[in-house]
Amino acid sequence: MGHQIIGLHDWLQTPPGQYLLRWEQTELDRTVADFFGYHALQLGLPELSGLRANRMPHRWLAVSDATSGRPGAAVIVTHPCALPFPENSLDLVLLPHTLELSPDPHAALREVHRVLVPEGRVVVCGLNPNSLWGLRQRRGQVYQQLGWGQLFMPEAKDLIAHWRLRDWLRLLGFEVESARFGAHRPALSNALWLERFAWMDAAGDRWWPIFGGVYFLVAAKKVHGMRLLSAPWKTRKSLATAPVPVASPAQHHHKQHEPD
């Protein structure tokens, strides 16, 4: 019996894929609303409107195929390892499942580090191999080697564990600011059964958070030895309000009569 390989975009239309998208969209809306700057980029996954809650004036969606854009979005067709932006030019980059589907995730992360400004943020969504979903995925891979069955999640070259990604980011000079796990319901393909286990989302957040089907990580680019300067208007204001020593008439008279 042959096996079927399903891609990410097709899998996202399934009940577990839709469940995952809803969780990630909610998390992105909550997180990116607090990031400020001028330029933001979402790299891949047009099914998510990752920057809709962000208020930066310049926001782009980068895709590898011109036919996979999203209506109403400023779309750039590019490769994740060769972004058409100069160094230190972006304030925020979103990577929704970009690394696990990239042929070279290390190169993609290095490119993100290049284009981010100091203190700029990268947000990563990734499928968690150390979860109930990851366990079912590995079982499906064993079955496929025997020539039958299919994977629960879309086939990727390598799912990247949360702690492994932390190591990669640290080596590049990023500092992880927050990490959260979600999608705690069992690895089920039926919409009705997924809904019956909705209670596991709250229970998982409390009792087994690291076993969620997906992780959501925020990191900031750090440049050692660099000191951020205040805005010029702040400097002028502080100088204008600083106290200025003024000699009193008594002090002036005393100095005139000091002996040589």
Confidence class for position 228, pLDDT limits 50, 70, 90: low
Look at 123 and 207; give whichever has higher pLDDT: 123
- Report residue 45 as tokens: 């996954």
pLDDT of residue 140: 79
The answer on pLDDT for 239 being more than 50 is: no
The answer to whether 211 touches 204, Cβ cutoff 8 Å, is yes
Query: Distance of alpha carbon 143 from its chain centroid, rounded?
Result: 33
Q: What is the pLDDT of residue 31?
A: 96
Tell me 123's DSSP state.
Answer: E
Is the alpha carbon torsion for 26, 24, 68, 35 positive or negative? positive
C-alpha to C-alpha distance for 121 and 39, rounded to whole angstroms: 11
Residue 156: per-residue pLDDT: 59
In this predicted structure, what is the pLDDT of residue 152? 80
pLDDT computed for residue 242 by the predictor: 44
- The phi, psi pair for 157, rounded to 5°, reads -60, -45
Q: Which domain holds residue 40?
A: 8-242
pLDDT value, residue 1: 36
Q: Which pLDDT does position 144 carry in this prediction?
A: 74
| Residues 21-36 pLDDT 10s | 999 999 999 999 999 9
Q: Is 249 a domain residue?
A: no
Q: Looking at the domain assignment, is residue 22 inside a domain?
A: yes
257 part of a folded domain? no
Distance CA 19, CA 166 (A): 26
Domain for residue 248, yes or no?
no
The CATH number given to whatever domain includes residue 215 is 3.40.50.150
Query: Please, are residues 257 and 250 in contact by the beta-carbon 8 Å criterion?
Result: no
Angle at 8 between CA 143 and CA 108, to 5 degrees: 110
Alpha helix stretches (DSSP H) within the chain: 8-11, 15-32, 98-101, 105-115, 132-145, 162-172, 191-196, 199-207, 232-240, 249-256
DSSP 155-193: P-S-PPPHHHHHHHHHHHTEEEEEEEEE--S-S---HHH
The Cα–Cα gap between 222 and 224 comes to 6
Distance CA 146, CA 3 (A): 10
pLDDT at 83: 95
Q: Is 250 within the bounds of a domain?
A: no
pTM of the model: 0.81
Identify whether 151 is part of a domain: yes
Residue 233 lies in a domain: yes
Domain count, the chain: 1
- Indicate the range of 92-101, 115-124, 134-143 predicted with least confidence: 134-143
Question: Are 218 and 121 within 8 A, CB to CB?
Answer: yes
256 lies in a domain? no
Per residue in 127-168, pLDDT (tens digit) is: 999 998 988 888 877 777 777 767 787 765 678 999 999 999
Q: What is the pLDDT of residue 67?
A: 63
